Structure 1
Amino acid sequence: MDDLKEVHEECGVFGIFQHQDAAQLCYYGLHALQHRGQEGAGILVSHQDHLSLHKGEGLVTEVFNPDKINNLHGIHAIGHVRYSTAGGGGIMNVQPLLFRTMNGDMGICHNGNIVNADVLRLELESQGSIFSSSSDTEILGHLIKRQKGHMIDRICVSLDQLDGAFAFLILLEDCLYAVRDRYGLRPLAIGQLPNGSYVFASETCALDIVGAQFIRDIEPGEIVRVKNNQLLSRIYTQKTIHDQICAMEYVYFSRPDSTIDGINVHTTRKNAGKQLYYESPVDADIVIGVPDSSISAAIGYAEASHIPYEMGLIKNKYVGRTFIQPTQELRNQGVRMKLSAVASIVKDKKVIMIDDSIVRGTTSKRIVSLLKEAGAKEVHVRIASPAIKYPCFYGVDTSTLKELISHQMNVSQLCQYIGADSLAFISEEGLKRSIHFKKEYTCDLCMACFNKQYVTPLYNNEFEHD
């Protein structure tokens, strides 16, 4: 069956430099980033003049056990959790990717999507490159190998050929590079442990879990090198740099305890819930949130409306991934395994159900049905993001128009389809106001999935209707 939540982000990265327990700390960091990808995980370590890799398909706890971690000897490490979008699944696409060359080993892991990947791959193959995976991450490795000069210059020249959304970690025997795309679409933070070791992570929650103090975010278009435990920073591109973080990082992808570009995620979601009430109030008895990423917005809606917040939906955190079932009845049973309506709370109540997004509509329809079967008198759905009408080409698995129900239906039609008594989305301006609540925060947001205003050219990526 479909996963409970409908949107998936591609992955998360974690790196640590100069620590005797590098692999163990990398494991903890990846565990904190597990929400960003559940299909595969890997850790690459550097020990003297050799890189060692272990990776596999599944959750972090399924891929690694104490013996595997203890066998990863090294003082530097990078790690990755993956949800496949570009390139598809399979063990060959699980990262980090390891390149063994005559000039030494190199490991790369990547969060995001390179929109000109097909153009670059065709060019590289015409020049004799042979790819061992279908992941766009491998393109950077081939580009670097074709350059000359100092490694940082080779990496910078290669990065400047890439377009799209990405955060890269690149590990050599004696140094680690961390990179963010020129638009700042994907987050990447720097932290430091009490012993002075530097740590890099897609989200600050992973810094917290290993006891690292947040230093700063890597800037758009910036490459940071750590060698001999000293940081070197430079801008790798002369092309126009925009700071346009993906709005969905705040809406859904990131953990609520993470801070992205100086903004706490829980606070933005709570603000969005309040804004939802101001824009779309409704008379009801209780407010509930769809676990887990909608809880903050539901609390905000309840505070603004003075309608009690209740735990009307409970998520079973111990249900693993399930297979597609052959009948609708069994598919619905799969939903009940993952999510339960609390009948004693929702029975005979007018319920406001807060969710973060509607993509394909199937999950929302099933949850509304669960609530009504549990005795809810009315179910009013409020969504803490604008309607998702257009595909994302920057690392989210919404690549076709046919997947997006808000592209096919207007709000009234969608309300009827999911069986709700009313339906409303937050406005684009309302979402911006929720995120830009700090006056000093001047970054723009990528909202292409709402308004079709893409940050980059789309190259060979086209809208697929069928």
Structure 2
Amino acid sequence: MSDAIKHECGIALLRLKKPLEYYLEKYGTAFYGINKLYLLMEKQHNRGQDGAGVANIKFDMDPGERYISRRRSIDSKPIQDIFSSINARFQEIEDENPELLKDVNYLKKNAGFTGELFLGHLRYGTFGRNSIESCHPFLRQNNWITRNLVVAGNFNLTNVHELFDVLLGIGQHPKEVSDTVTVLEKIGHFLDVENEDMFKSLKAQGYSNQEVYSKIAQSLDIPKILKKASEDWDGGYAMSGLFGHGDAFVLRDPSGIRPAFWYEDDEVCVVASERPVIQTAFNLKKEDIKELTPGHALIIKKAGEVSEVEINAPHERKACSFERIYFSRGNDYDIYRERKMLGDLVVPQVIDSIGGDLDNSVFSFIPNTAEMSFYGMIKGLEDHMNNEKFEAIKALGKDYNEDDLEKILKRRARIEKIAIKDAKLRTFITQDDARDDMVAHVYDITYGTVVRGKDNLVVIDDSIVRGTTLKQSIFRILDRLEPKKIVVVSSAPQIRYPDCYGIDMARMKDFIAFEAAIALLKENSMGHIITEVYQKCKEQESIPKEHVKNYVKEIYEPFTDTQISQKISELLKPVNIKAEVEVIYQSVENLHKACPNNLGDWYFTGNYPTPGGNKVVNKAFINYVEGSDARAY
């Protein structure tokens, strides 16, 4: 994606199922758990670079001994910062006496992060401040070991204000209005209730206090707690949590919007946001790893039992398609193939755009993350050219000329590395005109790859959201090669609607497709539709989210996808460039063909998987009309 978009978060949960001595003997280190957590997080660094955090629970510690460790960072390299700090303590121990690093009992009593249960989190801040207090995991402390709660997740809830009011109604006094704090306190409240109910019941049966605490730890009803806490959540989430006594869980939303994968053997149980991360960390095959069922929680008991339990009835599966297009790691078995197919499926539009002139067209990709869809596009072009070659050879007849045959067989799609990003280029200029000139040099080009005035230049991108980088930089630098026509291909459909489930796309004015639709309405004397949609959205502001309709769809209804794409091309073409410019988008139908099991397409269609989505999109439109940059949820 040439536009910088912050997105999602990443989680990594690891439970060691054997005593630490086992890993010391088998793998030669008592730090097997922390080393694996580092690998799980580093391999997911694409999911969050604003901050990171880790937490650890030690089992069976004596009263008065520390059993929860947590460290967070908003350093420019937060993962390295956290683990360097943790390892510094181990280095101190080694300097004191290297043999102590093999003394498990000593380590558990004297060093943090030497327990059996680990939770890691990577953060992208989609809204608001980026402070250490905003970093997961969040910790809710209590002197009762079974009431201690650590929470981290990849999530966003649309109804946080409603949930905040619920907390006030049960007598709590949350420190801020945020979905993270709200989730923590909601789970924490029902954790307290469950502890109190069990305490009263067990005491009535004549058990001593110590016996009561032990039995609560053994039989805490985590599914019951999660059901009560999450029954009114509206959003996408993969929520992970640790309890002070050693139980753990990962809970996924009923529509499967946010991803979660898990693996278990007799040594470990591990959960991560990305499947290939687990494969790499533990050298596994893809079929070894399970996807957490939507609406279910993976419950990991302190005794070692692992089970998937339904918490909320699953809805129609609407797993995020943007995961497939761009956000997830491309080395996943399915995602790699899906991205290639996205490139393949857009080929007919590309051929039409260049008038079928493949011999005088050069193909490339921007940025590097579009490389997989580029491979798919080239495959599609080669298939098309092979069909043309076949027909041309047939046309030669039996008395063919070998030179003509050789010319046909040598036809290939012309592939070049056109653009190189100068990642370290920064601009210190603040004046707009001069700064735009500097921004235009963020990418550099490979000279001599295009025949001036004759070749078409086709580049594929993952997706085009705002189009800012295209207008300010990419079109300008490509025009230096003096192609006849520049075609930019998006492997994703037109992004028309805001996300409200964890991706930084919340304002209508940030979507070039929306800007194009508004421009078309005004040009065609249909500006009244803008006013009518605004009035309909305002009328729904005070009604329950379950009854809200997405009226913003009416902004796009008068126009075809092609008309909007043409207007986008006009809006993004910089002044004073010579080449003709065209922007092509994937169709929603082809997206579904490429990603048949991940049909969450609300970015493109406005079909939100939860009622809160409709409320958010209407509010985002109201904010646009009123000129407000306030958050829509």
Cα pair 2:3 2:468 within 8 Å, conserved:
no
Query: Which residue of the partner structure matches residue 427 of structure 1?
Result: 587
Match of 1:136 in 2: 179
- The TM-score, its normalising length taken from structure 2, stands at 0.67
> Conserved in 2, the CA contact under 8 Å of 1:109 and 1:170?
yes
User: How far off is 1:328 after superposition?
Assistant: 4.3
Return the alpha-carbon distance in structure 2 between the equivalents of residues 171 and 320 of structure 1. Answer: 42
CA drift at 1:454: 0.9
Q: Does 1:393 align with 2:500?
A: yes
Q: Distance in 2 between matches of 1:335 and 1:131?
A: 46
The structure with the greater share of residues assigned to strand is 1
CA contact (8 A) 2:365 2:374 kept: yes
CA contact (8 A) 1:22 1:45 kept: no
Q: 1:87 to 1:225 in 2, by over 3 A?
A: farther
The residue that corresponds to 2:10 in the other structure is: 12
Contact 2:256 2:293 in 1 (8 A): yes
CA contact (8 A) 1:93 1:135 kept: no
How far apart are 1:342 and its partner, in Å? 2.0
- Pick from 123, 130, 135 the counterpart of residue 94 of structure 1: 135
Moved more, 364-373 or 425-434: 364-373
Is the Cα contact below 8 Å between 2:41 and 2:79 reproduced in 1? no
Does 2:491 correspond to 1:384? yes
1:346 shift after superposition: 4.6
CA 1:136/1:378 → structure 2, altered by over 3 Å: closer, same or farther? same
Match in the other structure for 1:269: 339
Contact 1:156 1:236 in 2 (8 A): yes
Q: CA deviation at 1:294?
A: 1.0
Q: C-alpha offsets along residues 321-354 of structure 1, whole Å, 9 cap, x if unaligned?
A: 98895544345535644x3322243563421110
Distance, in Å, in 2 between the alignment partners of 1:323 and 1:13 is 36
For residues 165-220 of structure 1, the C-alpha deviation after alignment (integer angstroms, 9 at most, x for no partner) is 00011112312211110000111000247x62111110113213312534200010
* Structure 1 residue 14: Cα displacement: 0.9
The 5 A counterparts of 1:71-110 are: 71-86=112-127, 88-104=129-145, 105-110=148-153
Q: CA 1:88/1:449 → structure 2, altered by over 3 Å: closer, same or farther?
A: farther
1:42-57, aligned counterparts within 5 Å? 42-48=53-59, 50-57=67-74
* Corresponding residue of 1:236: 311
Note if 1:164 corresponds to 2:205: no
**Do 2:260 and 2:272's aligned partners in 1 also have CA atoms closer than 8 Å?**
yes
Equivalent position amino acid for 2:41 in 1: L
Cα separation, partners in 2 of 1:101 and 1:345, compared to 1, 3 Å: farther
What amino acid does structure 1 have at the position aligned with 2:590?
A: G
Alpha-carbon separation, structure 1, partners of 2:414 and 2:272: 37
Tell me: CA distance 1:255–1:274, structure 2 relative to 1, closer, same or farther (3 Å): same
Q: Which has the larger radius of gyration?
A: 2
Quote the offset at 1:134 in angstroms.
5.1
Residues 136 and 189 of structure 1: CA distance in aligned 2, closer, same or farther (over 3 Å): same
Q: CA deviation at 1:85?
A: 1.9
- For 2:156 and 2:5, the matched residues in 1 are separated by 15
For structure 1, which segment, 421-430 or 19-28, has the greater mean C-alpha deviation from structure 2 after superposition?
19-28
Residue type of the alignment partner of 2:71:
H
Q: Is the 8 A contact 1:34 1:60 kept in 2?
A: no
Q: Secondary structure at the match of 1:184?
A: coil
Percent of aligned pairs with the same amino acid: 22
Q: Does 1:333 align with 2:438?
A: yes
For the Cα contact (< 8 Å) 1:302–1:308, is it kept in 2? no
After superposition, give the CA deviation of every residue in 1:425-453 in whole Å (9 maximum; x if it has no partner). Answer: 011001111123xxxxxx45111111111
Aligned residue in 1 for 2:378: 302
Distance 1:335 1:395 in 2: 30
The structure richer in helix per residue is: 2
Contact 1:86-1:136 at 8 Å conserved across structures = no
Q: Point out the more displaced range, 75-84 or 364-373.
A: 364-373
CA contact (8 A) 1:188 1:202 kept: yes
Q: Does residue 342 of structure 1 match 2:385?
A: no
Partner of 1:312: 418
Using the alignment, how far apart are the partners of 2:42 and 2:431 within structure 1?
33
238, 253, 275: which one pairs with 1:181? 253
Q: Distance in 1 between matches of 2:242 and 2:427?
A: 35
Deviations 1:83-139 (A, max 9, x none): 112554322111111111233321111112111212101221344433345541222
Native 8 Å contact 1:87 1:136 kept in 2: no
Q: Secondary structure at the match of 1:343?
A: coil
Whole-angstrom CA distance in 2 between matches of 1:125 and 1:433: 46
- Equivalent position SS for 1:357: coil
**Alpha-carbon distance between aligned partners in 2 of 1:332 and 1:248, rounded to the nearest angstrom:** 31
Deviations 1:51-78 (A, max 9, x none): 2111111433453243424553322111
In structure 1, the partner of 2:273 is 202
Change (3 A) 1:323 1:127: farther
Measure how far apart 1:44 and its partner are: 0.8
The residue type paired with residue 458 of structure 1 is: G
Q: Could you tell me how far 1:142 is from its partner in structure 2?
A: 0.9
Per the normalisation by structure 1, the TM-score is 0.89
Is the 1:222–1:233 contact (alpha carbons within 8 Å) kept by the matching residues of 2?
yes
Is residue 427–residue 438 contact of structure 2 (8 Å, CA) maintained in 1? no
**8 A contact 2:321–2:598 mirrored in 1:** no
Residue 525 of structure 2 aligns with which residue?
none
**Which residue among 278, 300, 321 is the counterpart of 1:247?**
321
SS at match of 2:368: coil
Amino acid at match of 1:384: S
Tell whether 2:158 aligns with 1:115. yes
